[in-house]
Structure 1
Amino acid sequence: MTDITDQKKQAEAGFKNFHRSLCERFGYYHDELDWQRDQVSLEEHIATQLSHVNAENAALRGQVEALQRGAGQLQEQVDILRPDADRYRGVRRVANQQGYSDEQFDQQTDARIANLGAAAPNKAVQP
């Protein structure tokens, strides 16, 4: 009979240590005397903490999805602009071969763009 009683005491001590460990882990007060009574309260305390974590995870998932959508939109824009960038690099390469520095090429390109902007309203008004 003593063997069974000892096993019961060992099992109870092990469970009490497990309960104490959970209390420490989840920031709940461990009552040495009424720890068995507090089990339901501890479960509720843990569930509340986990529900906050789940809500935070859901919010983070939403943010990640928004970032992924934004990255997809940026990739679409890059894909649209890539041919123009490739043409620009090709023209710049030709200009460099003809002796223009990158700075000279940029200045000349900026001037031509400005002239296009200034000339466009006049052309639209002319019959």
Structure 2
Amino acid sequence: MTDTTEQKKQAEAGFKNFHRSLCERFGYYHDEIDWQRDQVSLEEHIATQFSHVNAENAALRGQVEALQRGAGQLQEQNEALIQDAERYRWLQHGHSGYIEVVEWIGPHAAGMIGEDLDALVDAAMAKAVQP
């Protein structure tokens, strides 16, 4: 047998093994006899699987983008809530100098700080009409 014939047989065996490997990897039936005739079908099968994966990836990208937008909105809301909480704590602890929260009791007002202010605000919120 000539070198060329032997090389051709080795190349064909290598390609057949490659075909078998692709079939196994992509869940496609490997026809031991007519494997060469089946090349186009294997390519179409692989392309279909990739198109499904690409569609799934596009859908997942859309979901990730929506989650990122939602996370950004939550971050903005969280920052606004933190700022509100810091304002309240500043008033609550009496650090405001000339600004204070007062409760009118009869003819006079009482300055409110700390736990007294918390109780006053909680009671007023409980009485308030909810939207």
TM-score (norm 2): 0.74
Shifted more, 44-53 versus 71-80: the winner is 71-80
User: Could you tell me which residue of structure 2 aligns to residue 114 of structure 1?
Assistant: 126
Q: Which runs of 5+ in 2 are unaligned?
A: 95-113
Structure having the higher strand fraction is 2
1: CA distance between counterparts of 2:39 and 2:117?
77
Does 2:10 match 1:10?
A: yes
The CA RMSD over aligned residues, in Å, is 2.5
2: CA distance between counterparts of 1:106 and 1:68?
36
TM-score (norm 1): 0.76
CA distances 1:80-121 after superposition (whole Å, capped 9, x unpaired): 222111123334555xxxxx66xx765443113234x26xxx
CA distances 1:53-95 after superposition (whole Å, capped 9, x unpaired): 011001001101111111111122122222111123334555x
Structure having the higher helix fraction is 1
Report the count of equivalent residues.
113
Q: Which runs of 5+ in 1 are unaligned?
A: 95-99, 119-127
2: CA distance between counterparts of 1:14 and 1:92?
80
Mapping of 1:11-50 within 5 angstroms?
11-50=11-50
The percent of aligned pairs where both chains have the same amino acid is 75
User: Could you tell me which residue of structure 2 aligns to residue 72 of structure 1?
Assistant: 72
